A and B are shown apart, each in its own frame.
Chain A
Amino acid sequence: MNAPCKVLLISLGHPDLVPGGSPVVCQELFDELRTRDDIECHMLAAVDRESGDVHQPKEGITGFDGRDGVYLLHQTDHDAWLHRNNEPMLVESFVALLRTIEPDVVHFHHFLSVGADLIGTVRRTLPSCRILFTFHEFAAICAADGHMVRRTDQSLCERASPVRCHQCVPQRSTDDFVLRKLWLEQQLRHVDRFTCPSHFMIEHYVNWGLPRDRISHVTNGQRSRVVRPILAPPDGQRKRFGFFGQLHDDKGVHVLLRAVTLLREEGFNGFRADINGGGIQHASHPIRREIEAFQEAERQRPPAERIVSFNGPYSLDQIQSRMMRVDWAIVPSVWWEIFGLVISEAWMFGRPVICSNAGGMAERVTHEVDGLHFEMGDPASLAAAIKRACLEDGLWQRLHDALPEPPSRAAMADGYLALYQAEDALAS
């Protein structure tokens, strides 16, 4: 019997400690691989001081909560510009972990919080190890939050250049961006295979300079979150809408609120919108002020006149109860939204998606087939879609009936396993 393939997954954070799609995906992959007989899987997740007492900055790497195969990388003195580590004890601990596990595959899910320098460290420590890297957004290309949204006018960015990047991050010189790219390219050259969960992302990275033949598409997958029987929605109009996600600028909740305002002004009040999510502290000041003002105004209205409910943050264990309260999921993101886990979650519960017509959203949701698109960032366009969703007979059912199965975590794991075992490694 062959020895199992040893895989080390590296995540920017643990989903029990930090919000965000990337840690969830990494955890899903870890859980799935742990069910496979021929795989020995470990996971290393970065943790920083925002995790309170869990963070042990003098320890380098520790276990986590008694969980088998799970380790925490206690981040400290991290260079968030070049994404590299200044703390020698941390990298020395990482080398020791590599030598202890001796993985056949190290699979990075991002370099944020982890450090891009650890990629080269794997190559140096274990020269024959296969290295995979999954892009979860555009942090390598874009130093402005990795979202490729121009800070100058909030338009979607198609390409990076030192001058364009300097315009978005004026506190950094054009030279800084050249050096940053040189550094990241130098680290990423150790990667055998890159993956993206959406096809459109591949084009961005090819344009940035990565060789196309080293980038593969592997979908994000999740376990089913359906824990109870899904009850049929009540008959009649489908006029309950839900937003699921962080309340910061790029997720576009403000676009939804503005659409509600437009509809209310024209006297169209016969619908409801649930806002599910937290993290408003990460929103820009104007957007935060707008959301909070809307929330306060809504609270001042008589209950019968209220359209929007702010339900607060939720855990994945609560996703079913939140989804069951709505007929439609609205994904109004004003950035590329590289995959949109919430789309998968909506599909799990048979909810068609109304989304911005860009990026991963447009790639996954087919307009008029299994969902509706609206013009990204345009409240009037979203208002029209909401109105149509409320009024058009048979629309919901038609779209509902065409919903695809959301990608499973098993399908995701199979996609990665094929790459783990491919014969095109760079390793010497």
Chain B
Amino acid sequence: MAVRPRIVRTVIDHEDWDDVTRDEIDDDDDVDSDFDEATYLRAFPDIAEAVRRGTLASGLAHFRLAGRTEGRLEKAEYLALSQTHAGPASPQVALDTLTISPSGSTLITGWSDDRFDQLTEVDLETRADSRHNWMAFPRLARGDVERTLETPARHKFGFLLVAAPIGGNAAPPIDPRAANAPVFRFASGAETRLHRVPVVASDADLRDLALAALPTAAAGELDPEVIYSILDQHVGVQIAAINRLIVDQQRSRRLISRTGPSRGRYRGTIVTTLRAGADQIVPRLALTAGGAGAEDYEFVVVVTNADQFEAASRAARVADATLGLSLTLILQPGGDPAGFGEDAAVDAARSDRLIFMDHNVIPRDLDWAAHHTALLDRAPITQTRLFGGMLYRPDGALSHRGYYFDRETSLLTRPNDVPYQANTVRLNRLVQPSRSGPRPGPVVGVPGAFLSIDRRWYETLGGFTRHYSRAAFEDIDLCLRSLKLGFPAWVHPLPMWHFERRPPSRPEPSKGGAILNAWLLHRQWDAMIVPDLIGLNPTLPGGGN
């Protein structure tokens, strides 16, 4: 029987993110009909170990690379196992969580006393033609199990299994309660099938459950190495894929209404995803659209909180009567995942320029739109393809004129051990005015709070990533993708007020979400950041910062 191995990468090429799911279903080509992934790994522990370490993606990968030539399927170890139906007694396995969404996302947590017969594979058939198969997965320290078994804390009993649906958003829905019992296989060939009715949850709830498990999975250790190693073993990729799935699921569920004057095309589209009460819509629009040049721009407000839909609709009518601007209101339930509102707005935009403005950003200069237009008309395209402005706190201090990276060293304490010195790369804001004054220049990134980008370039870059948990780093992620193609973001002296403290602000991701976001950022970009982009004055195409 052919097995579809899951792809596991420890260092992830960002270009592969969108292909995670596709890769998984494209590998089923030309495999010897006698090949069985589980048997193969059980028969050849050295290969299984290489898969666990991440050196090999799967047993199948080894088979294609060398095993076929070596005649591994004809070796006695493989033949003996493949012809054996009855194996030895299985080690103990316990499930804490078995949660499946109707789209097929799956979360399994639990533990196994596999000290003497290693757990090598977990298999879950969610419907007749779809199954999750985990050949490599993180093992977690479980203090509770260690205490129960009265064993020294040398063995990691726990496991954390996460899977996005095979086929992604295109996969047909499943009946989670009809899923087969998960099968746990061990190195000896023994296997255990645990019958348990799964908990049915939405993808979002399942994702949140998985994120909530992350801090626990690290057993209280906030050491990035520990946490990242857990995420590296498929968990991070799969949660990110679920994040994207959640966004994609919502895209078809939106209501769009337009008010005010309407033109065929506009000079720019000012996009705001409402992350506050709808009562802020009209004041924001009045302060953004009140000056010269604003008539050349259209406004798109995306509301993702269903509680605010009615108030937002009323606010749009008030805006129409009192401001008379071109307003598109998009009501799209689904909360606030990264890239969610922005995607919806881009779909409705009627211009070649997208300007993303947080609800708590307000131009300092009433005529900012005219200045923005002049900038597009006069500055070289390399300086305007993607750029930000100067954000100021309401007390007048500069709060953001772009991002920079620096190294951070911190001491992490470990139970019963010497402190561990962790070296990480940290993303920071430039908050000091430039010595040369508010002049334009390239930076490694600009904040999504105010970000102006050529629409075709936005689409070339693939838009804001949807892999992050809520919004975090999606702006620097976009800028780094642009930089990777040779075009750094610029900042221009367009001054904006940034009311960051005004509640309710954008909700912070959960602790687990923050862990995932940091992992996503670092795993995708650290190789690029270090060493070229470190420091206040990184070397960037088009001049230093």
Contact with A along B209-227 (1 / 0, CB 8 A): 0000000000000000000
Question: Contact between B322 and A124 (Cβ–Cβ < 8 Å)?
Answer: yes
A369 within 8 A of B: no
Question: Contact between A186 and B394 (Cβ–Cβ < 8 Å)?
Answer: no
Question: Contact between A174 and B283 (Cβ–Cβ < 8 Å)?
Answer: no
A86 within 8 A of B: yes
Question: Contact between A182 and B497 (Cβ–Cβ < 8 Å)?
Answer: yes
Please report which residues of chain A, range 89-113, place their CB below 8 angstroms from some CB of chain B when the two chains form the complex.
91-92, 94-95
A169 to chain B minimum Cβ distance, whole angstroms, is 15
B66 within 8 A of A: no
Please report which residues of chain B, range 317-338, place their CB below 8 angstroms from some CB of chain A when the two chains form the complex.
317-318, 320-324
How many chain-B residues does the 8 Å CB contact rule pick out?
A: 24
B290 within 8 A of A: yes
Question: Contact between B322 and A86 (Cβ–Cβ < 8 Å)?
Answer: no
Residues of A within 8 A of B321 (CB): 88, 91-92, 94-95, 121
Residues of A within 8 A of B499 (CB): 175, 178-179
Question: Contact between A84 and B290 (Cβ–Cβ < 8 Å)?
Answer: no
B502 within 8 A of A: yes
A2 to chain B minimum Cβ distance, whole angstroms, is 31
Please report which residues of chain B, range 474-533, place their CB below 8 angstroms from some CB of chain A when the two chains form the complex.
497, 499, 501-502
B359 to chain A minimum Cβ distance, whole angstroms, is 12
Question: Contact between B323 and A120 (Cβ–Cβ < 8 Å)?
Answer: yes
Residues of B within 8 A of A79 (CB): 279
Question: Contact between B394 and A174 (Cβ–Cβ < 8 Å)?
Answer: yes
Of the residues A87, A117, A175, contact of B501 by C-beta under 8 Å: A175
A419 within 8 A of B: no
A165 to chain B minimum Cβ distance, whole angstroms, is 12
B376 within 8 A of A: no
B315 within 8 A of A: yes
Question: Contact between A162 and B286 (Cβ–Cβ < 8 Å)?
Answer: no
Instruction: Tell me the bound Cα distance from A120 to B286 in angstroms.
Output: 9
Instruction: Tell me the bound Cα distance from A117 to B501 in angstroms.
Output: 25
B366 within 8 A of A: yes
B287 within 8 A of A: yes
Of the residues A82, A88, A117, A162, contact of B314 by C-beta under 8 Å: A88
Question: Contact between A175 and B314 (Cβ–Cβ < 8 Å)?
Answer: no
Instruction: Tell me the bound Cα distance from A88 to B310 in angstroms.
Output: 12
Question: Contact between B322 and A118 (Cβ–Cβ < 8 Å)?
Answer: yes
Known: A91-B318, A92-B321. A174 touches B286 (CB 8 A): no
Residues of B within 8 A of A51 (CB): none
Output the nearest chain B residue to A93 by Cβ-Cβ distance.
B321
Question: Contact between B502 and A179 (Cβ–Cβ < 8 Å)?
Answer: yes
Contact with A along B265-284 (1 / 0, CB 8 A): 00000000000000100110
Known: A173-B501, A174-B395. A87 touches B314 (CB 8 A): yes
B115 to chain A minimum Cβ distance, whole angstroms, is 57
B43 within 8 A of A: no
Of the residues A87, A94, A162, A182, contact of B362 by C-beta under 8 Å: A182
A85 within 8 A of B: yes
Question: Contact between A121 and B322 (Cβ–Cβ < 8 Å)?
Answer: yes
Instruction: Tell me the bound Cα distance from A186 to B362 in angstroms.
Output: 12
Output the nearest chain B residue to A176 by Cβ-Cβ distance.
B502
Residues of B within 8 A of A117 (CB): 282, 286, 318, 322
Question: Contact between A186 and B287 (Cβ–Cβ < 8 Å)?
Answer: yes
Residues of B within 8 A of A88 (CB): 314, 317-318, 320-321
Residues of A within 8 A of B287 (CB): 182-183, 186
Please report which residues of chain A, range 140-187, place their CB below 8 angstroms from some CB of chain B when the two chains form the complex.
162, 173-176, 178-179, 182-183, 186-187
Residues of A within 8 A of B315 (CB): 86
Instruction: Tell me the bound Cα distance from A91 to B322 in angstroms.
Output: 7
Output the nearest chain B residue to A163 by Cβ-Cβ distance.
B395
Output the nearest chain A residue to B366 by Cβ-Cβ distance.
A186
Of the residues B282, B324, B502, contact of A84 by C-beta under 8 Å: B282
Q: Is the interface of B mostly helix, strand, loop or mixed?
A: helix
Instruction: Tell me the bound Cα distance from A88 to B318 in angstroms.
Output: 5
Known: A121-B321, A173-B502, A183-B287. A86 touches B314 (CB 8 A): yes
Residues of A within 8 A of B362 (CB): 179, 182
Output the nearest chain B residue to A115 by Cβ-Cβ distance.
B322
Instruction: Tell me the bound Cα distance from A121 to B323 in angstroms.
Output: 7
B396 to chain A minimum Cβ distance, whole angstroms, is 10
Residues of B within 8 A of A86 (CB): 279, 311, 314-315, 318
Output the nearest chain A residue to B283 by Cβ-Cβ distance.
A183
For chain A, the bracket of interface size reads 20 to 34
Instruction: Tell me the bound Cα distance from A94 to B279 in angstroms.
Output: 20
Interface centre among B283, B322, B366, B499 (most CB of A within 10 A): B322
Contact with A along B390-411 (1 / 0, CB 8 A): 0000110000000000000000
Instruction: Tell me the bound Cα distance from A173 to B360 in angstroms.
Output: 14
Residues of B within 8 A of A92 (CB): 317, 321
Output the nearest chain A residue to B501 by Cβ-Cβ distance.
A175
Residues of A within 8 A of B395 (CB): 162, 174
Residues of B within 8 A of A121 (CB): 321-322
Instruction: Tell me the bound Cα distance from A86 to B314 in angstroms.
Output: 7
Question: Contact between B502 and A175 (Cβ–Cβ < 8 Å)?
Answer: yes
Contact with B along A173-203 (1 / 0, CB 8 A): 1111011001100110100000000000000
Instruction: Tell me the bound Cα distance from A86 to B313 in angstroms.
Output: 11
Residues of A within 8 A of B394 (CB): 162, 174-175, 178-179
Output the nearest chain B residue to A181 by Cβ-Cβ distance.
B394
B117 to chain A minimum Cβ distance, whole angstroms, is 61
Instruction: Tell me the bound Cα distance from A86 to B322 in angstroms.
Output: 11
Question: Contact between A124 and B323 (Cβ–Cβ < 8 Å)?
Answer: yes
Instruction: Tell me the bound Cα distance from A238 to B283 in angstroms.
Output: 56
Instruction: Tell me the bound Cα distance from A309 to B366 in angstroms.
Output: 56
A390 to chain B minimum Cβ distance, whole angstroms, is 54
Instruction: Tell me the bound Cα distance from A86 to B366 in angstroms.
Output: 23
Contact with A along B361-378 (1 / 0, CB 8 A): 010001000000000000
A147 to chain B minimum Cβ distance, whole angstroms, is 24
Instruction: Tell me the bound Cα distance from A173 to B283 in angstroms.
Output: 17
A263 to chain B minimum Cβ distance, whole angstroms, is 50
Question: Contact between A183 and B286 (Cβ–Cβ < 8 Å)?
Answer: yes
Instruction: Tell me the bound Cα distance from A85 to B502 in angstroms.
Output: 21
Residues of B within 8 A of A178 (CB): 394, 497, 499
Output the nearest chain B residue to A187 by Cβ-Cβ distance.
B286
Output the nearest chain B residue to A120 by Cβ-Cβ distance.
B322
Residues of B within 8 A of A118 (CB): 322
B281 to chain A minimum Cβ distance, whole angstroms, is 10
Residues of A within 8 A of B322 (CB): 85, 91, 117-118, 120-121, 124
Residues of A within 8 A of B283 (CB): 82, 84, 179, 183
Residues of B within 8 A of A183 (CB): 283, 286-287
Please report which residues of chain B, range 331-364, place their CB below 8 angstroms from some CB of chain A when the two chains form the complex.
362
Instruction: Tell me the bound Cα distance from A121 to B321 in angstroms.
Output: 7
Residues of B within 8 A of A189 (CB): 290, 366
A188 to chain B minimum Cβ distance, whole angstroms, is 11
Instruction: Tell me the bound Cα distance from A269 to B362 in angstroms.
Output: 62
Instruction: Tell me the bound Cα distance from A183 to B499 in angstroms.
Output: 14
Output the nearest chain B residue to A95 by Cβ-Cβ distance.
B321
Residues of A within 8 A of B323 (CB): 120, 124
A83 to chain B minimum Cβ distance, whole angstroms, is 11
Instruction: Tell me the bound Cα distance from A220 to B497 in angstroms.
Output: 39
Output the nearest chain B residue to A88 by Cβ-Cβ distance.
B317
Instruction: Tell me the bound Cα distance from A84 to B321 in angstroms.
Output: 13
Instruction: Tell me the bound Cα distance from A117 to B284 in angstroms.
Output: 12
Output the nearest chain A residue to B364 by Cβ-Cβ distance.
A182
Of the residues A85, A175, A179, contact of B318 by C-beta under 8 Å: A85
Interchain residue pairs with CB less than 8 A apart (16)? A85-B322, A86-B311, A87-B318, A88-B320, A88-B321, A95-B321, A120-B322, A120-B323, A124-B323, A162-B395, A175-B501, A175-B502, A176-B502, A179-B283, A179-B394, A189-B290
Q: Beyond the given A86-B279, A124-B322, A182-B362, could you list 14 further A-B residue pairs with CB under 8 A, ordered by the A residue number?
A: A82-B283, A84-B282, A86-B311, A88-B314, A88-B318, A91-B317, A92-B317, A95-B321, A117-B318, A120-B323, A179-B283, A183-B286, A186-B287, A186-B290
Closest A-B pairs by Cβ, 3 of them: A88-B317, A178-B394, A91-B321
